[in-house]
Amino acid sequence: MIIDLLLWISSITFAIGIFAPVMTFKKLIFYTNTFSIKSGLASLFKEGEYILFLIIFVFTILFPVVKILLLSMIHYFRFWSQEKRKKLLHYLSLVSKWSMLDVFIVALLVVIVRLGISGKVEVRWGIYMFAVSVILSTLATQKLVRSTHGPQAK
């Protein structure tokens, strides 16, 4: 039941985190702009920053979606053999250790692209939703690894 809760809350906070404001840029007194991950990605694509768009898209949208889907498939559907499930969970647990990188990549790369020298960044609540999603999906991965490998697994 804990794994169910972790997966559901992680999915919900992920979706909220993508569309909610993650940061507000203030330049001087006159210019203020608030971005979500979605609007930041759209802006990067529109401005022709395709490589940066692709990097951020892969690490903030594609990877977490695939991770949550795979975790859900492993947990809810038992069509893979135990050995295949263990192997998938092993790879997911290795990659999960880098998951917080998602949050920092979004923050740093968007700031680098968007912020001039004389500006200020305010972190908004969407980044916290996104961070909660990453943390909960990592916990779900660890719980699934432990349940798949039995009580002797670490």
- CATH number of 122's domain: 1.20.140
Q: How many domains does the chain have?
A: 1
> Would you state the pLDDT for residue 78?
77
- Distance in angstroms (rounded) separating the CA atoms of residues 85 and 145: 9
77-84's contacts with Cβ under 8 Å and 24+ in sequence apart are: 82/148
In a domain, 63, yes or no: yes
Domain extent for 29 = 2-149
In a domain, 94, yes or no: yes
Average pLDDT for residues 55-81, to the nearest whole number? 85
Percent of the chain with pLDDT over 70: 81
pLDDT per position as a tens digit, 112-133? 555 555 667 778 899 889 889 9
What is residue 77's DSSP assignment?
A: -
- Distance in angstroms (rounded) separating the CA atoms of residues 121 and 113: 13
In a domain, 154, yes or no: no
pLDDT per position as a tens digit, 39-51? 989 998 999 989 8
In a domain, 33, yes or no: yes
In a domain, 75, yes or no: yes
